[in-house]
Amino acid sequence: GEDVEQSLFLSVREGDSSVINCTYTDSSSTYLYWYKQEPGAGLQLLTYIFSNMDMKQDQRLTVLLNKKDKHLSLRIADTQTGDSAIYFCAETPGVQRALTFGSGTRLQVQP
Amino acid sequence: KAGVTQTPRYLIKTRGQQVTLSCSPISGHRSVSWYQQTPGQGLQFLFEYFSETQRNKGNFPGRFSGRQFSNSRSEMNVSTLELGDSALYLCASSSATGDGYTFGSGTRLTVV
């Protein structure tokens, strides 16, 4: 079945860039998403990319997709303490199909 | 534009009881999905409804069920609760464009 993997933890200093990585196994993945979850809250959609794209930039966020290696990354520029949260990578093969999530990467931003 | 609304936010139930959770999607969204989040299993897909029909179902026992009403609001029901059903239950709604699933804040269910 489909599998999405992420590293569990990342620690950066405030002002640095953060790069969160994700690998997936489903070659039919069409839509790939990044979600953010703060303590006690639901999931906030940060950004998404379609499989026919290599890169997408949205303000401080840059998503890179290497479809050949099935590797997705999220770069957060100028990381702030408010960026401390758990970040989930998710994929789906089609619109309104089930999302398969990674286990989440906990980002800790040190002042 | 109002977001996805889930009620209640918190629930405490006893083993063997049943529970109903509610989700109101973003206006205009006809697809509603439910996910279970636990520390051990992470985020797992329960089921998805579109126009009152269940289109997709995850790998959960029949004690987990759901429905969707004509106004796209959805409910999920868990019968004969077990301790392992303690989790954060998240509802998401989406349009037909693939530009993302908007999640609610979740219902935290504790089974004692």
Give DSSP secondary structure letters for B24-52.
EPPTT--EEEEEEEETTTEEEEEEEEETT
- What residues contact B81, with CB distance under 8 A and at least 6 apart? B13, B14, B15, B16, B17, B18, B19, B111
* Interface with chain A: mutation pick from B29, B43, B88, B95, highest number of A CBs within 10 Å: B43
Q: What is the pLDDT of residues A33-76, one digit of tens each?
A: 999 999 988 999 999 999 889 999 999 999 999 999 999 999 99
Inform me whether the C-beta atom of residue A46 falls under 8 Å from chain B C-beta atoms.
no
pLDDT attached to residue A106? 97
- Give A69→chain B minimum CA distance, Å: 23
pLDDT attached to residue A1? 57
Q: What is the pLDDT of residues A69-78, one digit of tens each?
A: 999 999 999 9
* Both structure tokens of A99: 């999302």
* Regions of chain B where pLDDT drops below 50: none
Query: How confident is the prediction for chain A on average, in pLDDT?
Result: 92
Which of B48, B99, B102 lies closest to A98 in CB terms?
B48
Question: Per the CB < 8 Å rule, is A45 touching B106?
Answer: no
For residue B39, count other CB atoms closer than 10 A to its CB: 7
Inform me whether the C-beta atom of residue B39 falls under 8 Å from chain A C-beta atoms.
no
- Give A12→chain B minimum CA distance, Å: 24
Question: Per the CB < 8 Å rule, is B104 touching A99?
Answer: no
pLDDT attached to residue A26? 82
Which of B4, B42, B48 lies closest to A103 in CB terms?
B42
Q: What is the pLDDT of residues A1-29, one digit of tens each?
A: 568 999 999 999 999 999 999 999 887 87
pLDDT attached to residue B95? 82
* pLDDT score of A97 more than 80: no
- Give mean pLDDT, residues A99-109: 96
Report the percent of chain A where pLDDT is more than 90: 78
- Give mean pLDDT, residues A89-111: 90
pLDDT attached to residue B97? 67
Are the beta carbons of B4 and B25 closer than 8 angstroms?
Answer: yes
Are the beta carbons of B67 and B49 closer than 8 angstroms?
Answer: yes
pLDDT attached to residue A40? 86
